Structure 1
C-alpha cells in the first residue's frame, strides 16, 4: 500500500492558517496596527475603503525593514520578536508568532513599501496569493506602508460570509480604539472612503479618552491607581450615575495589550456594588502592569484572552483599586459627621427632696408611680355615664334616643366639652361633614355597611352623571350619588 500522508504546499498551509488569523477586515487592521506600534512608530495612519473589503492600508514612520527582512516577513513563523523559548515568557511586544503577514498575503493582494532611516532607497514588494510577483527598489519616506487590497479574492465563500459595510466598519473602529487607547503617546488618524474620521495627536490618556469617546466623558472621569509589588493598576473609571445599558465602554489592558476578561469585569462590578442602577454597566479604562512570567498570552489566536498565574490576587487588587478610587472622588455615599445634625437636647431628670438617694450629696430619685392597668369595664362605664348626661339637656334640643337617667356630678365637665347636643334639633341627628355628631348619636347610630358598586351597562337613570346645580337649588348630585348634609337620609337611594 503506498504512503498517503504528504506535506501540504506552502500556499495551501497559509490559506488554512489564514482562517484562524484573518477572519474579517478588522483582523487585518489589528495585525497591521500592532506591527506599526512594535516598530516604534510615533505616527500611524489607517486608510480604509468599503469597510476594508477593497482596501486596508497602514502607514507608519517606524524603523522600517531592509529588502531581505521585507521578503522574509512574508514567510510563516518568521519574526523579529523572539529568539528562544525563554523569550516566550518575557514578551513585551504585541506580535510574536510571525503568522500575520503570511496569512494576510495568502488571501489578498498585498503591496509593501518600506525604508530604513538613513537609506537612500526603499523596497517595493507586490504579493498575490502568497506569490511574490515583484520586488524592486523605490523611493519612499522612512517607515513602512502596507496596503491590503481585495481581501478574500481567492476565497469566495469567506468573502460572501462578510457582513454589511456598517457592521464591518464597526469592528474596524473597535480595533482602532483599542490600539489608540493603549498608546496615547502615538498619533493616530483614520480615513474612511477619503473622509477623515479621527485625527488624534499624541496626548495624555484622559485627553485620548475624550477625543475617542466624546466630550461627555470629560465630566465623569475619575483617576484610579494602585501600586503593589505584584501588580500595578492605573487608569480611569466613570461615575456611577453615568453608567449605560451597554457594555461597550469597558477596556482592560494588560501590559498595553487589550484583553477581554469576564473575571476582571466582575471585580469592577463588585466594587460598584450598590451604586449602579439595575442592568447598567460602568465605564472604565484600566491598565494592568505585571511581570510577563505571571501571564500566558498564547491562549487564543487573537491574543485577547490571557491566563494569570495568580488570578485571585489580581481580582482582589483590581477590586480594591476601583473601590478606593470611588471613595477618594466622593462617588460613594458616606456619613457626614461634620454636618449640623439637629439632635434634641437631653432633659435632666426631675428630683425631689424625699426618697432614696445615692451618697450623701446625691440627688434623690423620684418615687415610682403606681402602674395603671387597662380596665375595659371602667372605660365602658365612663362612656355610659357620659351618655346619661344628655338627659340634662332640654327635650327639644337633644336626640330622641338619649338615655333618661342623669349623670353624676363628676362627669359634668366631660359632658360639657364632649357630649354637647346637636347644633340643629331635628327628628333624628344627621351626621355630616359640617355638623358634628353628639355623643348619644355615636352610641346609638349604626353605620350602614358599604357595598361595592356593580358596573352595569347601560347605567340606571340615577347612575348617570347629572349636571351640577346652583348651590341654593338643593344638594349636588354626581354620578347618581347625593353629596351634602342629607346624603344619608333614611330611604335615600345609595
Structure 2
C-alpha cells in the first residue's frame, strides 16, 4: 500500500508549479460569490477602458437628452479631469438617487425592446461604471425646476461632498441641462492608470472622438479644450453643414475633395449616405468615420471593402477619407454584442457592404473625368510641371483671368473623356437601317415585363460561397480593374469574334467581351447567391423535350467517336439529376423545376438583358456531366460557371456587305444582332464599369492594348 500523498496547504495562489513539483496537489478550493464591489469594478474595467470611452458614453447620453450644444473640458488627457456640459432636458431630481446604480435607464424596459432600440445608450452602465473608478459629480436642471441640483457619487451611490454632510443632492445655481464632472479617473486602479503612456496621446484620442460626433451630429454645436487654456481645439457651430464640419476638423485639403454618395435598399432595410474623397486625395492611412444607426462603431469588413474599392483609383499605398452613416432597421441589428458598443452585428452584411461600395465606385468613376494629374520631366531645361484636368482638356476651356497664364497642353496628352463625342457606330453608314427609320430607334427593345418580388433577402452564410468570393478578390488585377471602371466605350469591332474597342486614358484596347462577360456573370452569381431574380416561362417548358433538343443536336454535330451515345439515355440521366436536386436549384439559383419535370423559371442575372434562349437546351444538358454535384464548393463554382457561359452573348455571323442589303438578311437574325449590339454598349459595358472585378485571368486573351497615344506621337515625330 502506497504512502499517503503530502499536501502543502501553504502554497501561494497563482504560483506556477515547477516540473519537479508535479506530484504536489493542492486541496480543491470552494466556489464563492464575489463581493459586489469587486464585480462592479470588473464591469467598470470592461466598459471604461480609457478616458475616451468614458467621454463617448457621456457624449451619447448628452445627445440622447436633446442637446444642441456640448462643451468638453479635459485635463491631463482626461485622467485628472473630464467634464462635459450640455443644454439638454436635464435629469429629474427624484431620479438622482439611482442615477449611478447599474442597469438603471429610461430607454429600455423589457429585453424585447433591444429589437427596436434607436438611442445611443440603453443599458444604464456608463455612469455606474465611472462612479466605481472615479470621483463623479452631476449638476443638472430641468425645464420645470426652479434651480439646479448637484450630486456626488462613489461606488454607484450618493456620497457627501465632505465627511459628516448629507449625501442628498444640493440645490445650486445653474442653467438648463447637465454638467458631468469626472475627476481622478482610475484612482483606485493604479495598474490601469500607470498603463497610459502620455496625457497628450489620450487627449488626441478624445479629440478624434469629439471630431467624429461633431461631423455626424447635425444641429449640435461641439467644443473641446484643455483645462486652463483660453482657446478651443475643436469648435463647430450648430448651423454648420457636414462639409463645413469636415473642413473645421479635418482641414480644407479633405473638404475640398469630398463627394457625396447615397445608397438604399428596402429589401435589405438600409439607407446609407456620406461623404468620401475623390481620386485627387490620398493619405497613408484610411480615415473612416462610421456610424451605424447614429452610433460610432468600427467595422473591419467595411474598412477593408472601402480600401479595396479605392485600390483601383489611388496609387499604391494611398488611402481615402470616408464618412459613412448607415441606418438599418433596428430589428436587423444586434447592438448588444460589445461592452463599449464599439461593434454591432447586422443582417445582410455582405450584401449591404457590396451595395455601398458599388455606389462609391460609380461615384469615383464619374468624378474621374476631372482628376488632376501632375506631370514632371527629368530632361534638363524642360518647362515647369503642367497641371491640367481631364475636363479642361476635353472642353478646351482655360481660365483667362488667372494671374498665372496656363501653357497650352501637349497634343499627346489630350484625352477623349466624353463617350458622346464619337463612337464607331456613329461613323457607320446608315444604309443598314430600314428606310424612313432613325438609327437610334431601329434597335428592338426587350419585350419582357419586370415585376418586383416582396421576398425577403436571404443572407448567405455558406463558407464555400464566401471562399469563392475571396478567391475572386485575391485574383483581382488592380490596373485592369481601374481600366474597366473608368473606360470609354468606342464600339464593336468584330461580332463573330466578339471584340470591342474601349479607351482607357490615352490607350486603346481590344476586349473580348465574351470572356469578360463570362467573368462578370460569374461574379454576379456569387454576389446574388440565394437571391436571384427569375425569368418565368409562360407557358412553362417540358424539360425532357428541351434536353432532347440539345442531346440530338450534340449527336448530330459530333464526330463518330464522340457522338456514339444514346440521346434518350443521356436525357433520362440528366433529367433525373435535375429533378432530384430541384429544391436546391430553386432555393439557391431560382431554377424552378416541378416534380413532373416542367421547367418553370431560370435565374435572372442582369435586368435589361436576356440571354439567348437558343442556348438554353445546351445549358441544361451540360448541368448533368459538367457540374460536380458531390462537393458543395465545386458544385456551386461549376454551376455558376455554366450559368455565366449561358449568359454570354452568342457569336453571330458578321453583317452582310452593302451589296446584299437588308432583303437578303434574315429578319430574326438581324433583330438579334441589333439586340446584342444594344446590350453590349448600353447594358453590359456600363455594368462592367460599375462593378466588375477584373481578374488576372483576363490578361490572357481577354484584353489587348492596340494603341498608345504618346507612343504614336513618338512614331509620327520621327516621320
Same fold at TM > 0.5:
yes
Residue 108 of structure 1 contacts residue 152 of structure 1 at CA under 8 Å; is this kept in 2? yes
Query: How far 1:7 sits from its partner (Å)?
Result: 4.3
d(CA) in 1 for partners of 2:159 and 2:303? 48
SS in 2 for 1:57: strand
User: Higher Cα Rg: structure 1 or 2?
Assistant: 1
Residue 168 of structure 1: aligned partner: 202
Residue 50 of structure 1: aligned partner: 76
Query: How far 1:139 sits from its partner (Å)?
Result: 2.2
Query: How far 1:62 sits from its partner (Å)?
Result: 0.6
> Please, which of 349, 352, 357 is the counterpart of residue 314 of structure 1?
352
Residue 336 of structure 1: aligned partner: 418
Structure 1's unaligned 5+ residue stretches are: 347-357, 360-494
Paired residues in the alignment total 345
Residue 118 of structure 1: aligned partner: 144
> Please, which of 162, 165, 180 is the counterpart of residue 146 of structure 1?
180
SS in 2 for 1:174: helix
Cα separation, partners in 2 of 1:240 and 1:329, compared to 1, 3 Å: closer
Residue 279 of structure 2 contacts residue 364 of structure 2 at CA under 8 Å; is this kept in 1? no
Does residue 190 in structure 1 map to residue 260 in structure 2? no
Comparing 132-141 with 106-115, greater Cα deviation is found at: 132-141
d(CA) in 2 for partners of 1:324 and 1:33? 35
Does residue 243 in structure 1 map to residue 325 in structure 2? no
Residue 200 of structure 1 contacts residue 208 of structure 1 at CA under 8 Å; is this kept in 2? yes
Comparing 132-141 with 234-243, greater Cα deviation is found at: 132-141
1:266-305 matched pairs, under 5 angstroms = 266-305=304-343
Query: How far 1:155 sits from its partner (Å)?
Result: 1.5
Cα separation, partners in 2 of 1:10 and 1:332, compared to 1, 3 Å: farther
Residue 206 of structure 1: aligned partner: 243
Residue 102 of structure 2 contacts residue 156 of structure 2 at CA under 8 Å; is this kept in 1? no
d(CA) in 2 for partners of 1:319 and 1:332? 21
Query: How far 1:236 sits from its partner (Å)?
Result: 0.7
Query: How far 1:53 sits from its partner (Å)?
Result: 1.3
Residue 115 of structure 1 contacts residue 122 of structure 1 at CA under 8 Å; is this kept in 2? yes
> Please, which of 49, 53, 73 is the counterpart of residue 23 of structure 1?
49
d(CA) in 1 for partners of 2:94 and 2:133? 22
SS in 1 for 2:256: coil
Structure 1 residue ranges, 4+ long, deviating more than 6 angstroms after superposition: none
Cα separation, partners in 2 of 1:318 and 1:191, compared to 1, 3 Å: same
Residue 77 of structure 1: aligned partner: 103
Query: How far 1:131 sits from its partner (Å)?
Result: 4.5
Comparing 200-209 with 131-140, greater Cα deviation is found at: 131-140
Residue 100 of structure 1: aligned partner: 126
d(CA) in 2 for partners of 1:321 and 1:51? 39
SS in 2 for 1:242: coil
SS in 1 for 2:233: strand
Residue 90 of structure 1 contacts residue 293 of structure 1 at CA under 8 Å; is this kept in 2? yes
Query: How far 1:99 sits from its partner (Å)?
Result: 0.7
> Please, which of 265, 268, 284 is the counterpart of residue 303 of structure 2?
265
d(CA) in 2 for partners of 1:17 and 1:309? 28
SS in 2 for 1:240: coil
Query: How far 1:137 sits from its partner (Å)?
Result: 2.0
Question: What per-residue deviation string (whole Å, max 9, x for no partner) do you get for residues 441-485 of structure 1?
Answer: xxxxxxxxxxxxxxxxxxxxxxxxxxxxxxxxxxxxxxxxxxxxx
Residue 147 of structure 2 contacts residue 173 of structure 2 at CA under 8 Å; is this kept in 1? yes
Query: How far 1:184 sits from its partner (Å)?
Result: 2.6
User: What TM-score do you get using the length of structure 1 for normalisation?
Assistant: 0.66
Does residue 327 in structure 1 map to residue 361 in structure 2? no
Query: How far 1:52 sits from its partner (Å)?
Result: 0.7
Query: How far 1:182 sits from its partner (Å)?
Result: 2.1
| Higher fraction of helix | 2
Query: How far 1:93 sits from its partner (Å)?
Result: 0.8
Residue 76 of structure 2 contacts residue 200 of structure 2 at CA under 8 Å; is this kept in 1? no
1:353-432 matched pairs, under 5 angstroms = none
Cα separation, partners in 2 of 1:226 and 1:163, compared to 1, 3 Å: same
Residue 182 of structure 1 contacts residue 257 of structure 1 at CA under 8 Å; is this kept in 2? no
Residue 106 of structure 1 contacts residue 128 of structure 1 at CA under 8 Å; is this kept in 2? yes
User: What TM-score do you get using the length of structure 2 for normalisation?
Assistant: 0.46
Query: How far 1:214 sits from its partner (Å)?
Result: 0.8
Question: What per-residue deviation string (whole Å, max 9, x for no partner) do you get for residues 69-126 of structure 1?
Answer: 1221210011111111221011111111111101100011111101111210222111
SS in 1 for 2:114: helix
SS in 2 for 1:154: coil
Residue 186 of structure 2 contacts residue 192 of structure 2 at CA under 8 Å; is this kept in 1? yes
Residue 46 of structure 1 contacts residue 58 of structure 1 at CA under 8 Å; is this kept in 2? yes
Residue 66 of structure 1 contacts residue 123 of structure 1 at CA under 8 Å; is this kept in 2? no
Residue 41 of structure 1: aligned partner: 67
